[in-house]
């Protein structure tokens, strides 16, 4: 999955915004103001940072050479995925979904209600 496909998939999710809070090359995706994904726009090989359950994060790192502890992130809760042939589009989309769902499930009930009202 290239960066354009990654971006399109992330922003297709309900309540997602994109911004550059750190610098002009780190694109961050948030749901209801909470970060669930980011990518660098200046990298030769695309990398994607996604939230993950701690146990699952360790499992994915052991299983896939392209999955590493989150670069500049809490390594317990974030993975950095290097785009390569072992990481299919469908697999990466499932990890994006997992990251998004983790954040949505931690939103307050009021925020979740507001999110559900969005188109």
Q: What is the pLDDT of residues 67-92, one digit of tens each?
A: 999 988 888 999 999 998 889 999 99
**Mean pLDDT, rounded, for 55-73:** 94
pLDDT value, residue 32: 95
pLDDT value, residue 72: 84
**What is the pTM for the complete model shown?**
0.94
pLDDT value, residue 87: 93
Q: Which residues pair with 81 in a beta bridge?
A: 48, 67
Where exactly are the structural domains of the chain?
3-109
pLDDT value, residue 119: 66
Q: How far apart are CA 40 and CA 113, in angstroms?
A: 32
Sheet with 26-31, strands from edge to edge, namely 16-19, 26-31, 34-40, 47-51, 78-82, 67-69
67-72: Cβ within 8 A, 24+ apart: 71/47
pLDDT in tens, 33-56: 999 999 999 988 899 999 999 999
Half-sphere exposure of 79 (CA within 13 A, CB side): 27
Closest to 41 in 3D by CA, of 17, 60, 22: 22
Closest to 9 in 3D by CA, of 107, 98, 79: 98
Rounded to the nearest integer, the mean pLDDT of the chain is 94
pLDDT value, residue 85: 85
Higher pLDDT, 99 or 45: 99
Pick the CATH number of 3-109 from 3.90.1150.30, 3.40.50.300, 3.20.20.70, 3.60.20.10: 3.90.1150.30
Interior angle at CA 35, CA 31 and CA 39, nearest 5: 115
Contact 47, 38 (CB under 8 A): no
CA 29 to chain centre: 7
């Amino acid at each position: 999955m290239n960066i354009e496909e990654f971006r399109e998939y992330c922003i297709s999710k309900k309540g997602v915004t994109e911004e550059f809070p750190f610098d002009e090359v780190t694109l961050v995706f948030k749901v209801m103001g909470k970060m669930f994904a980011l990518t660098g726009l200046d990298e030769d090989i695309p990398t994607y940072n996604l939230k993950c359950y701690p146990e699952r994060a360790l499992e994915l790192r052991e299983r896939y050479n392209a999955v590493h502890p989150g670069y500049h992130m809490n390594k317990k809760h974030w993975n950095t995925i290097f785009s390569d042939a072992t990481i299919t589009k469908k697999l990466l989309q499932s990890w994006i979904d997992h990251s998004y769902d983790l954040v949505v499930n931690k939103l307050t009930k009021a925020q979740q209600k507001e999110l559900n009202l969005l188109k």
